[in-house]
Structure 1
Amino acid sequence: MGASYHQFCPVAKAMELLDERWTLLVVRELVSGSERFNELRRGLPRMSPTLLSRRLHQLVRAGVVERHVDGADVRYVPTQAGRELRPVLEALGAWGVRWIGELGDADLDPKLLLWDMHRHVNHNAVPAGRTVVQFRFRDVPADLRDWWLVIHTGEADVCDVDPGHGVSVTVHADLRALVSVWLGDLSWPNALRGGAVEVAGPEALRRALPRWFTLSEFAAVPRPTAPA
């Protein structure tokens, strides 16, 4: 736990645990369903493994997370205290959507975008069998340009190397544009109409693709009304 504020205020006491760097983002991943260390790392790609281990240990010690060990399988599961942080995170995210300014280029991460998208696949809308969506970001370095989302039997996985399956549709996009779609700042039709996002593949699949995803939970947050 971080240094004490020496205040009896419950906000101060909560922040002694939660305001250390990365802690709330670790909780974000845990309440979003990531349980294993490698899953957490994929949702926190710029966090060092050593620091992630330290933060998990602190959360376990504070009673926010339980560590479940079954042989070599180790899972981190939020306790009731951890689960009760979900609305706190939702409120913070909604506030950030409404009041934090435009994202900088360094904030745009294709790895994090695809990891978030794979958790929001609408499996009822995706065709039966295996569906592979290739994403090609034309405005990022070559080693981050190509990604594959493999959807099959109610599951989805993100690959940064060709998984070797036939591609159903290919999405060519500016990274900023697809992040804007994901966060609800740009609609699929407008992104496609303006050419910032292009979809290649059979016509029926191209038309259906936007329905394969439920957007980020923050996409529906009302934006502040501009002053008259």
Structure 2
Amino acid sequence: MAGYGQFCPVAKAMEVLDERWTLLVVRELLLGSTRFNELRRGNPKMSPTLLSKRLRTLERAGIVRRAGAEGHVRYLLTPAGEELRPLVEALGAWGTRWVGGLGEADLDPHLLLWDMRRTIDVDAWPRERTVLAIVLTDVAPRVSRWWIVVRDGQVEACDDDPGFDTAVVVTTPLRTLTRLWRGDVTWASALRTRDVVLEGPEGARRRVPRWLGQSVFAHVPRPEPAPAGA
């Protein structure tokens, strides 16, 4: 990209980070994605060509380094890249606090389940293989059914029935599940209004909020609503 023509360090940093998708690629790397396909899953609307281009730019800037042989390449953050962590976390907190609205284009079951899969606390789940089924009521049938499988300390998010017994079935709109994940609404309120319906043994149903957890930004304090007429 063209430079800003300023000596200011903020301007120089933005010459590297200001291109579309760049910081979202860094976000994925900070969250532990290292393979090209993992980075694509975290940014599903980004083309492979553009992802390759952004990775090359980040390499040239000394933010990312490649490791491994062709076909088994991993992308790793350098110390300069790791130093971006507080910046990305601050942007996430700011966005949670001040940019609240969710449009239809922001709702993506693949991205939501990917984000949930990698942050699930497996220690909260039973030691034996446990399957949670999710039925999304406001999306196309081909993306409406998902299964989360936890076993041996590993988590899988499947859009094909894995064929195992299900502990609980969670039925909800994608928008509601996304808002629960973001911390915009509470499980108690969603269950009370039946925006979320849980089917299964009572003990397992009670554990679902703990099993699924929430986004790392879910507990960011939100501003108080403006008084009526203000």
Aligned equivalents of 1:188, 1:34: Cα separation in 2: 29
Give the equivalent residue in structure 2 for 1:29.
Answer: 28
Structure 2 counterparts to residues 1-228 of structure 1, below 5 A: 2-70=1-69, 72-228=71-227
Instruction: Report the CA distance between 1:70 and its aligned residue.
Output: 4.0
Partners of 1:16 and 1:71 in 2: CA distance:
29
Alpha-carbon separation, structure 2, partners of 1:164 and 1:227: 49
CA distance in 1, matches of 2:199, 2:62: 48
Opposite residue 85 of structure 1, the aligned amino acid is: L
Q: What's the secondary structure of 1:124's corresponding residue?
A: helix
3-state SS of the aligned residue for 2:15?
helix
User: What SS does structure 2 have at the residue aligned with 1:25?
Assistant: helix
The CA deviation string for residues 5-64 of structure 1, in whole angstroms up to 9 with x for no partner, is 011111111111111111111111000001111111111111111111111111111111
Structure 1: runs of 5+ lacking an equivalent: none
Output the CA distance in 2 between the equivalents of 1:61 and 1:129: 46
Q: CA separation in 2, counterparts of 1:42 and 1:168?
A: 27
How big is the shift at 1:83?
A: 0.9
Cα distance change on mapping 1:71 and 1:49 into 2, 3 Å: closer
Cα distance in structure 2, aligned partners of 1:196 and 1:165: 26
Instruction: Look up the equivalent residue of 1:164 and give its one-letter code.
Output: G
- The alignment partner of 1:119 has SS state of helix
Runs of 4+ in 1 over 3 A off after TM superposition: none
- Cα offset for 1:167? 2.0
> 2: CA distance between counterparts of 1:77 and 1:163?
32
Corresponding residue pairs, total = 227
TM-score by length of 2: 0.94
Cα distance in 2 for partners of 1:80, 1:165 equals 43
1: CA distance, partners of 2:158 / 2:146: 6
Aligned-pair RMSD on alpha carbons?
1.3
Alpha-carbon displacement from aligned partner over 1:140-180 (angstroms, at most 9, x marks no partner): 11121111111111111221222222222211111111111
TM-score (ref. length: structure 1): 0.95
Q: Deviations over 1:54-105 (max 9, x none)?
A: 1111111111111111463211111111111111111111111111141111
Segments of 5+ residues of structure 2 without an aligned counterpart are none
Q: Which amino acid aligns with 2:209?
A: P
